[in-house]
Structure 1
Amino acid sequence: MIQNRLFRIPALVATGALQTLAFAPFYLWPAALLSLVLILLLCSGREAKPLFRDGWFLGLGLFGSGASWVYVSISEYGMTAAPLAAIMTLLFAMGLALFPAIAFWCWGRLADGHAGRSLWLFPAVWVLMDWVRGWLLTGFPWLYAGTAQVDGPMAPWAPVLGVHGVTFVTAVTAALLVTAWHHYRNGPRWLPAGFVAAAILPWLLAPLLSLVAWTQPEGEPLSVAAVQGNISQHDKWDPDMLRNQIRTYRELTEPLWGRDLILWPETALPATQGQSAQVLDALESRAFETGTTLVTGLPWYGNSPHYAEPVFHNSLMTVGPGQGTYHKQRLVPFGEYVPLESLLRGTIEFLSLPMSVFRPGPENQPPLQVAGGARTHPAICYEIAYADFVAQQAVDTGFLMTVSNDAWFGRSLGPFQHHQIARMRALETGRELLRGTNNGITSIVDREGHIRIRAQHYERDVLKGEIQPMTGTTPFMATGSWPVITLAAVMIVFGRQRREKAKA
């Protein structure tokens, strides 16, 4: 029955979609492990050609369900007709599904039909597939199985191994469990117990790791606030609504002056620093008067390093006591810039979204400084999904700060998944996180990735609380994902050598 296409194709799609349940807002972290086990039961030991097809259908299930929120951006805010938006969303999922398809083809070539080799190569193939997907063509670092463990028992491994390391351990667990099952059916009965023991060992060690404090408090807590304006995306870039938007944020902010830090979300000011000069001057005067640093998102326009002409950046700017402007470095394709712009711009309305002409900011930008001398290196929207990028930026800073405008994704899975990803970054770096958004999820997250306080979703709200700056470095901050990626690469090379020896 497993080989019957009428059963196999739906089973593969469903197995891929099962992983979506591991992520927010479902939080069923065992679904990721179960999905990997089922993948191995369905696919291990098969040849490369059918595995390409298997991987594609798995990817279609995973990305078709887990990244379905793209439809909202294309249809509702990209002004694209529903049928065309559905087709574009499907094409997006089909394109992403090529990552597991190609990875599974390589898996089949390396294993060459050998079931045992197939099982122990799987974790390496899976994590390398995730890693490549995270940077190729700017990357889609979303829906990693390890992210689900921010709410699971493997969370203490995240500061040591990072999200790719947690994914790797989860895949190793699945491979060992399936190996135990095969030996239970076909081999000595004492062998399965050994494989099961090896499978559960890292899960048993996790509570011991949770006792290690990789980072320590530094100085006094900062009193902070994040303003959530809940501005409709349809009004966001309407010039006639600009005055009302500014009035909304200023009125919500007025009772908050006197705190160390007030955070406005991504492009809270939907006008450049030059166009907003009068507003920024008024805010700066109030900020210096009260000793408060205000950080706001806005589209920045001007001369920038590495560009001959003036450009737009998606930026954060400090106002009042403090220092710094940060330009976003990791841009969203088709949302903030259009690849092959000369060919695609204007073909459909979605490719002419407001402010889709941003350029990436320079590397090695200095941290922002806020009242009291605390330092933070912010991440704007999509950037928080890049684990190694955030870990590198967090060095020599006291806390994490990220802003977003998840109104682009409506009432879909997107905002919840995005928030869960941000929580994983706090866990990996051992730093508390202040997250400000236009309509949710605005929150303060502790260094263990737990939500301390959050604002009401899809409502105009203000979040008030404290952030404790931290000092110290987690192992993941020191090494990044390279130890895990190197181990996976060594396993691939070793697997290839074993295949060649078997053929000789």
Structure 2
Amino acid sequence: MERLAGKVMLLSGTRRALTAFLAGLVGVLALPPFGFLAALFVSFTLLVWLLDGASAAPEAGFLRRLAPAFRIGWTFGFGYFVGGLWWLGNALLVEADAFAWALPLAVFGLPAFLALYYGFAAALARLLWSDGMGRIAALAFAFGVGEWLRSTLFTGFPWNAVGYGAMPVPLLMQSSGLVGLAGMNALAVFVFAAPALLGTRRGRVPGLGLAALLFAAHVGYGYYALNVVPTPESAATVVRLVQPVIDQAMKLDDSARADIFERHLALSAAAPEGGKRPDVIVWPETSIPFILTDNPDALVRIADVLEDDQVLIAGAVRTESAGSGKAPRYYNSIYAIDGKGQIVAAADKVHLVPFGEYMPFADLFESLGVDAVAMPGGFSAARAPQLLTASGKGFYPLVCYEAIFPEEMASVADDAVALLNVTNDAWFGNTPGPYQHFLQARLRAVERGAPLIRAANNGISAVIDAKGRVVAGLSYDVPGFVDATLPGKLTSGEAGKWRNWAFPVTLALLLAMAGISRAGFRNRVN
């Protein structure tokens, strides 16, 4: 391994850049739908060896000394994000005549931007670099900071954070309930990068030992949480998830609106298959294909399908007046409708998708004739999250990709009986996108210790328990419905007791390890 490490460290030019790109690309295999966790061990081991050789001339200025490391980190990130996010281009092909020109921006432009965070992380790590275990701690610290920034700056986009690669199955998901996604990002990088110590002599035993201990604790806590911590009793509520599998092009066809609506109603009215009649029926994001308040006959049709004590929760576009002479505002919303056809509650999406649901720098892009992909003119955002209350129960609404932001979930989520994620991943076709989204949504259930109800137009729809296990669901491209009894919640003491402190404490420990090692390294050199 020392010979291999030396060869990688001494790579230069195109071969060095290509190795960094491929290292990032290989890491994508740890993400859904593959879930090959070992891929990230290869990725980060190569990254460490490449950074070992990322040095500049001693007389170079501060930024020039960091430039080689930044380039390696950026190229690594570019491979990771191109491989993990290429499917975003599929959304632009739904209306190819209007948006195909932007395909290179989605497939390569966004990854090039996101790779800046990994370039920053590599440069930050290089500041703390040493010749032993300390450099592994430096990389873990730096990536923890980089991933946190990626989830925060410019509205944030933590999709495919490194920590998800360490949590492909429920056994390996439970640690996120203790340390959160941010903590998992840093700890996962330490474990994934530790095999690089096989290529060096200093710090090999303690570094590999600590990584093995962390991984054993990760698995051990997962076993404990799944098999020892009592599973909460299920509620008496039966939930039906409706998955109509409607092609996105059809959803954009005005002439198909009546057929789409009737398809949802038919699946809602179907008799349960040997079980109890559902108390709550859930439709996906924007499943109501028109402005509901402008179509009172639609509310009558819903009332015809529902029993008096049933409730329909459905994604819809909501509109409200913006004042005299102004265009109305539109919201990506969720309605709760009772058995009498009355709208009893509504919740609007808070975190909108840039360029998809609204246009940053709207005046500039309007002058160029560029509009939001999913909604011409764009949606307006709600001011703050709020519970959606139906039948006396509070559900915490997460519209589409709001489910990927763990730190943005408001404290009112603690009062909900379940998290509620409605989405329309049909934009992305049968690509890795819907599978990646599903995993990220599942982790929110584990982190909050609450069940998750997830209804998707074309999959993956499921009821998830508080430990991230699928109770019942429908796979991608499978039309129909599924009924399930809503699982119970874990108590607040069992779920996330230390999560708020885990990330800063983890960063502090990693920084201390890296700093001490760096100081010792400089003393040895001098």
1:200 counterpart = 2:212: yes
> TM-score, normalised to structure 2's length?
0.84
Closer/same/farther in 2, CA of residues 342 and 474 from structure 1, 3 Å limit: farther
Kept in 1, the 8 Å contact 2:134–2:513? The answer is no
| Residue in 2 that maps onto 1:451 | 470
Counterpart of 1:415?
434
1:368 alignment partner, one of 378, 388, 392: 388
Higher alpha-carbon deviation: 166-175 or 399-408: 166-175
In the alignment, is residue 268 of structure 1 matched against residue 287 of structure 2?
A: yes
Residue in 1 that maps onto 2:396: 377
Quick one: distance in 2 between partners of 1:116 and 1:226? 49
Amino acid at match of 1:369: T
Number of the residue aligned with 1:318? 336
Q: Which runs of 4+ in 1 moved over 6 A?
A: 496-501
Q: Is 1:332 aligned to residue 344 of structure 2?
A: no
Q: Is the 8 A contact 1:230 1:459 kept in 2?
A: yes
Following TM superposition, by how much is the alpha carbon of 1:358 offset from its aligned partner in structure 2, in angstroms?
A: 0.6
Deviation digits for residues 409-428 of structure 1 (CA, Å, limit 9, x no counterpart): 11211111101111111222
Report the Cα offset of residue 72 of structure 1: 0.5
Residue-by-residue CA offset, 1:273-320 (whole Å, 9 max, x unaligned): 322333124424653x34111000001111589xx9742111001001
Displacement of 1:121 after TM fit? 1.2
Alignment deviations for residues 440-481 of structure 1 (CA, whole Å, 9 cap, x no partner) = 111122222222322142242112222123141266645555
Secondary structure, counterpart of 1:447 in structure 2: coil
SS of residue paired to 1:68: helix
1:15–1:35: 8 Å Cα contact kept in structure 2? yes
Q: Structure 1 residue aligned with 2:73, among 52, 55, 60?
A: 55
Secondary structure of 1:124's aligned partner:
helix
| Equivalent residues of 2:466, 2:487 under 8 A apart | no
* Pick aligned residue for 1:155 from 173, 176, 195: 173
Give the 3 Å change call, closer, same or farther, for CA 133–304 of structure 1 in structure 2: farther
Contact 1:345–1:352 under 8 Å retained in 2: no
Which of 215, 224, 244 is equivalent to 1:211? 224
Deviation at 1:344, TM superposition (A): 1.0
Confirm or deny: 8 A CA contact 1:390 1:425 kept in the other structure: no
Q: Cα deviations across residues 158-184 of structure 1 (Å, max 9, x unaligned)?
A: 11111222222222223444346422x
The secondary structure found in structure 1 opposite 2:224 is coil
Amino acid at match of 2:34: F
Which residue among 14, 37, 51 is the counterpart of 1:29?
Answer: 37
495 and 13 in structure 1: CA distance in 2 versus 1, 3 angstrom threshold: same
Verify: 1:71 aligned to 2:71, yes or no. Answer: no
Q: How far does the alpha carbon of each residue in 1:237-273 deviate from its partner, in whole angstroms, 9 at most, with x for none?
A: 3222211111111112112594111000000012223
Asked if residue 233 in structure 1 is aligned to residue 245 in structure 2, the reply is no
Partner SS for 1:151: coil
State which of 131, 135, 155 in structure 2 corresponds to 1:138.
155
Q: How many residues align?
A: 492
Q: Equivalent of 1:291, from 301, 306, 309? A: 309
**What stretches of structure 1 of length at least 5 have no aligned partner?**
none
- Cα 1:165–1:215 change in 2 (3 A) is farther
Give the residue type in structure 2 aligned to 1:96.
Answer: L
Report what 2:60 is aligned to.
none
Residue in structure 2 matched with residue 123 of structure 1 by the alignment = 140
- Write the distance in 1 (CA, Å) between the matches of 2:322 and 2:224: 46
Query: Cα distance 1:476–1:220, how it changes in 2: closer, same or farther (>3 A)?
Result: closer
Q: 1:248 to 1:323 in 2, by over 3 A?
A: same
Establish whether residue 357 from structure 1 lines up as the match of residue 365 from structure 2: no
- Once the two structures are TM-superposed, the CA of residue 23 in structure 1 deviates from its matched residue by 1.0
Counterpart amino acid of residue 142 in structure 2: V
When structure 1 is superposed on structure 2, of 327-336 and 96-105 the one drifting more is: 96-105
Cα separation, partners in 2 of 1:243 and 1:151, compared to 1, 3 Å: same
Once the two structures are aligned, what percentage of the paired residues are identical? 23
Structure 1: distance between partners of 2:327 and 2:513:
50
8 Å CA contact 2:94–2:249 kept in 1: the answer is: no
Paired amino acid for 2:238: S
The answer to whether the aligner puts 1:245 opposite 2:260 as a matched pair is yes
Which stretch of the first structure deviates more once superposed, 375-384 or 140-149?
140-149
The superposition leaves residues 93-125 of structure 1 with CA deviations (integer Å, 9 ceiling, x where unpaired) of 1111111112222222343x7666433211111
C-alpha change, 1:79 and 1:127, in structure 2 (3 Å) is farther
Name the aligned partner's letter for residue 37 of structure 1. T
Residue in structure 1 matching 2:24, options 16, 37, 58: 16
SS of the residue 2:312 aligns to? strand
Answer with 222-231 or 329-338: which moved more.
222-231
Give 2:118's match in structure 1, choosing from 100, 103, 126: 100
* Greater alpha carbon shift after TM alignment, 56-65 vs 212-221: 212-221
Return the alpha-carbon distance in structure 1 between the equivalents of residues 173 and 296 of structure 2: 45
